[in-house]
Amino acid sequence: MSRELWKEMGLTQEEYTKIQEILEREPNEVELGMFATMWSEHCSYKTSKPVLRTFPTEGPRILQGPGENAGIVDIGDGQAAVFKIESHNHPSAIEPYQGAATGVGGIIRDIFTMGARPVAVLDSLRFGPLKSKKSRFLLDGVVAGIAGYGNCIGIPTIGGDIYFHPSYEDNCLVNVLCIGLIDQKDIAKGTAAGPGNPVMVVGARTGRDGIHGCTFASEELSEDSEERRPAVQVGDPFMEKLLLEACLELIKTGYVVGMQDMGAAGLTSSSCEMASRAGTGIEMDVAKVPRRETGMNPYEIMISESQERMLVVPKQGKEEEVKKIFAKWGLEAVVVGQVTDDGFMTIKEGEKVVARVPAKALTDMCPAYTSEAVEPEYIGPAQSYDLSTLPEMEDYSQTLLSLLGTCTIASKEWIFRQYDHMVGLNTIVQPGSDAAVLRIKGTNKALAATVDCNARYVYLNPYAGGKIAVAEAARNLVCSGALPLGLSDCLNFGNPGKPEIFWQFKEAARGMSEACLELETPVTGGNVSFHNETKGEAIYPTPVVGMVGLIKDLSHVTTMNFKKEGDIIILLGENKDELGGSTYISVIHGLEAGNAPEIDLKLEKLVQRSTLELIKEGFVTAAHDCAEGGLAVALAECCIAGNIGADVNLTDGIRGSSLLFGESQSRVIITVPKEKIDAALQRLKKLEVPYKVLGNVGGKALQIVGTGWKLRLDTAELEEKYREAIPCIMNS
Amino acid sequence: MRFGVVVFPGSNCDADCYHVVDQVMGHPVTYLWHGDKDLKNVDCIILPGGFSYGDYLRTGAIARFSPIMDKVVEFGEKGGFILGICNGFQILTETGLLPGALIRNPSLRFICKDSYLRVEQNETPFTGKYQSKQVIKVPIAHGEGSYVADKETLEKMEKAGQIVFRYSTSQGEITQEANPNGSARNIAGIINEKGNILGMMPHPERCAEAILGGEDGKLLFESLINWWQGGKA
């Protein structure tokens, strides 16, 4: 075997030697291709595994943790929510429309592979600032791609988060979360059990697209990446809609032993993972795989990443029934092989064996790497940057307007208006709120979901930032009236071979784990995306948290808009004099410095529990989390959403900038009707949660009065600034 | 009143229409498979929204050739009730059951939001429960919703009272700003001359329950059922 070939495929000397040891011979080209794709970082998690193992993954609500196509949480009444988040960063950076579209398609398949009907999609997006033409091009293409796929397949895109920062200029992030609903009795797994059972390829035909997509995802972007465009797959949402309906119909028959979508590493990964999970082998003939191109060789067929395909293992003798269902939907279903008991992946072309590799060698035997972790040099100076001497802005009103007009904070309506967020008739809280809320038809329950990560905090202090990402996601769910159940994470980092990057990764994961434990939100799976670097510059470390919660009674659904004149505004939690990592110092002072906000998980939990208690007891008319832009922006958002003003007094002995725009954690704004205020305050005292009565809802302006200063703006003015920032840039 | 919801490959509002008829209106409803030729004795056919055949070639262009469509056309020509929503409206114009065509939004973007409609014609089986000139809030969700027709056709429809819904402001003014997709004369929904086939881009099934933000769409289904039961438009 030439050194060039295995190197070209992205394998290391150590890995190549290990393959020789496993096989006790030289691998041929097909085998090498299978190892290279399965042992890529994207598929093997070889660098991240030791860290991922530290996440808490168990809890009373967890029906399926990491290791399957998606995680599953129990939502009562024999029902479950299936969800997972995945990245499609590099493809989107090269070809934004198809990159994002196939990102949506891929994660949707992960959900219906488990037998669940996908009911919602959320996206977490990161781009460079929109003043650059490239960022506008990427945003435009990514949003159109998500819309193009999601709208067509008919799964509502109900929410998400988006940040703009220079570190994502050439390496945008596109993370997609999909949620499905299932009756627990229908849960399907990705296992190829039962030797003798047939192995079937169903759905679209196989072509040469997306060859080496996962190895491409496991390297840094460079100027040459443009040439990788053919590694980006092309999506066909119509085909996937047919595949979705056919697969769900098939699962209802009870004929399915196991099923898995062909995502990264296509036929190779789906087959060996299914065999490995079941402890079986698979023998298949690539000549039987339906192709849409002529002259494809076994190597190409095995690693093609053509979209909208699934591998199905039905019970022996049910092949014709399977074919009938797929034919009804105009799709092919072809028997390509069978399950064996020898533990080997035996790949044939006709009668000729073209590859023979132990299934477990591909899935489990990739060498694990424990990278060195070293604190980056920027951390010390950044954290100790003295923010106490920053000059105070004279005009807080103008500052608030500037923040509301910052793309990261401003209304995302320009984006979500392009998404069909209503199809399915379940969306009861529109995008733009703390969390998206879906009713569950036929019950009095609802699901809430959110995606969150403030990467600036993670950059300044990965440990605290990791905790905050989890805490904020949970807080958003609680503000919607939901009990957080579990999370799926998408860990976007730079090159883990660099000790500084690996340190960020480890520290962020350590913070996340602690928060998961304290807030009782185990990790049910997710995805690691390394090598998010261009020309050696890494993105801000961005561990995105996708979290799902349960609203037990529809009457608990809570939104952020201020509702009624006279409602009393209460702040749960504590204001602190901290500006580190805030949007305020970034936008106004041009600083990315200071330490991340402090986070006390005990206080966080208390604030969340108290918020939820009050909601359940019927005290709360609106609830909103304080996040980017601090208390002032949170209050403005409540006013804008409710089209009503508020009168607020802030009397803490803290400088105005920190009080208004600081991003202290564990704070929630709620409103309580006047007639219930005494009882509500008594409840809060009993819960022993710190709180402050801030003022009341009413009028047509937001007025905040502090010691020696006053901020006053008409809600109409707030709204104009907030709503027009992004359209103004994108439509010009 | 028995309803049938046609399922084309790529329909995605079929289950929503089914849900509204079944769960909200409490009337019998069945799916009609595009490949079948049996209308199962329904009294009203709903052509639902979605992306039949992936919107490939042109919206609705392939769906009109589905085996069931011959029967649907026959049914409509005999006076049977047909409601085409969004992609269903596009299919109706492709079959010629309704005049005009739907082309891409001038923004070239998909638009999903609430829109205000003014009820222009309440003397139809589909709109009898609305007040004349009533303003209703109904969501739109489409990339190709810009209604076009030649001037003669438009004039003829105006005179015959075939324009049923127009995009308006929340106050009922017909303005350019209130027109989300550049439709000719702010047209959001039209009916055939006989008054038994309605096509509209907005989605009444998405606003038939208070929990989803409004019930203005429910009145359309109520109107139809009321007419069927012998009530008046």
Collapsing DSSP to helix, strand or coil, A379 comes out as: helix
Q: What is the DSSP letter of A539?
A: P
Whole-number pLDDT of residue A7: 87
H-helix or E-strand spanning residue A486: strand A483-492
- Quick one: A212 exposed, middle or buried, by C-beta within 10 A (0-12, 13-18, 19+)? buried
Whole-number pLDDT of residue A592: 94
Is 80 exceeded by the pLDDT of residue B231? no
Whole-number pLDDT of residue A215: 64
Which has the closest alpha carbon to A153: A182, A126, A180, A174? A180
- Quick one: B159 exposed, middle or buried, by C-beta within 10 A (0-12, 13-18, 19+)? exposed
H-helix or E-strand spanning residue A528: strand A523-529
Residue of B nearest to A158 (CA): B112
Domain ranges of chain B: 3-228
What is the pTM (predicted TM-score) of this model?
Answer: 0.95
- Quick one: A275 exposed, middle or buried, by C-beta within 10 A (0-12, 13-18, 19+)? buried
Rounded CA separation A79/A87 (Å): 27
Is 90 exceeded by the pLDDT of residue B169? yes
Partner residue facing A238 (CB), from B13, B54, B206: B54
Low-confidence ranges of chain A (pLDDT < 70): 1-3, 212-219, 221, 223-231
Helices (H), A218-358: 237-253, 266-278, 298-303, 319-328
Q: Where are the beta strands (DSSP E) in A168-294?
A: 173-183, 198-203, 256-261, 281-285
Rounded CA separation A47/A466 (Å): 19
Q: Where are the beta strands (DSSP E) in A297-453?
A: 309-314, 332-340, 344-349, 352-358, 427-429, 436-439, 446-452
Q: Is A283 left (phi over 0), alpha (psi -120 to 50) or beta?
A: beta
Sign of the CA dihedral running A537, A143, B213, B10:
negative
Cβ atoms < 10 Å from Cβ of A688: 8
Whole-number pLDDT of residue A6: 86
Whole-number pLDDT of residue A10: 85
What is the Rg, in whole angstroms, of the alpha carbon atoms belonging to chain B? Answer: 16
Whole-number pLDDT of residue A226: 64
Which has the closest alpha carbon to A161: A660, A628, A637, A494? A628
H-helix or E-strand spanning residue B190: strand B187-191
Q: In CATH, what class is B3-228?
A: alpha beta
Both tokens of residue A135?
């960022």
- DSSP codes of every residue in A52-90: HTTS----TTEEE-BTBSSEEEE-STTEEEEEEEEE-HH
Active site positions of A, annotated: 42, 88
- The β-bridge partners of A160 are A123
Instruction: Determine, for residues B211 and A428 on separate chains, whether the beta-carbon distance falls below 8 Å.
Output: yes
Both tokens of residue B231?
């009530």
Beta-strand pair A533-534/A537-538:
antiparallel
Residue of A nearest to B207 (CA): A425
Whole-number pLDDT of residue A218: 64
Per-residue pLDDT tens for A82-104? 999 999 999 999 999 999 999 99
Residues of chain B contacting residue A238, judged by C-beta atoms under 8 Å apart: 9-10, 51, 53-56
What is the number of residues in chain A? 732
Chain B interface residues (partner A, CB cutoff 8 A): 9-10, 12-13, 15-16, 19-20, 23, 49-51, 53-56, 109-113, 139, 141, 143, 203, 205-206, 209, 211-213
Which has the closest alpha carbon to B138: B107, B163, B162, B170? B170
Rounded CA separation B89/B101 (Å): 9
Rounded CA separation A82/A85 (Å): 11
Asked if A711 contacts A397 with a C-beta cutoff of 8 angstroms, the reply is yes
Which has the closest alpha carbon to A121: A196, A203, A179? A179
H-helix or E-strand spanning residue A602: helix A601-616
Whole-number pLDDT of residue B22: 98
Half-sphere exposure of A466 (CA within 13 A, CB side): 24
Helices (H), B78-172: 87-95, 151-160
Size of interface A-B (CB pairs under 8 A): 82
Asked if A157 contacts A146 with a C-beta cutoff of 8 angstroms, the reply is yes
Per-residue pLDDT tens for B53-104? 999 989 999 999 999 999 999 999 999 999 999 999 999 999 999 999 999 9
Whole-number pLDDT of residue A52: 93
Residues 6+ apart with CB under 8 A from B15: A424
Residues 6+ apart with CB under 8 A from A184: A63, A74, A78, A79, A80
Both tokens of residue A342?
């020898």
Asked if A251 contacts A310 with a C-beta cutoff of 8 angstroms, the reply is no
Whole-number pLDDT of residue A393: 83
Catalytic pick among B13, B94, B144, B203: B203
**Mean pLDDT across chain A:** 94
Collapsing DSSP to helix, strand or coil, A498 comes out as: coil
- The β-bridge partners of A681 are none
Partner residue facing B16 (CB), from A148, A152, A423: A423
What are φ and ψ of residue A673, in 5° steps? Answer: -60, 145
- Quick one: B210 exposed, middle or buried, by C-beta within 10 A (0-12, 13-18, 19+)? exposed
Half-sphere exposure of B149 (CA within 13 A, CB side): 23
Partner residue facing B109 (CB), from A237, A418, A422: A418
Whole-number pLDDT of residue A370: 81
Is B205 one of the annotated active-site residues of the chain?
A: yes
What are φ and ψ of residue A454, in 5° steps? Answer: -95, 100
Asked if A415 contacts A407 with a C-beta cutoff of 8 angstroms, the reply is no
Rounded CA separation A10/A43 (Å): 13
Residue of B nearest to A429 (CA): B212
In the numeric block, the tokens 């998404």 are attached to A419
Cβ atoms < 10 Å from Cβ of A151: 26
Residues of chain A contacting residue B90, judged by C-beta atoms under 8 Å apart: none
Sign of the CA dihedral running B129, B131, B133, B134:
negative
To the nearest 10°, the Cα dihedral for A163, A165, A167, A172? 40
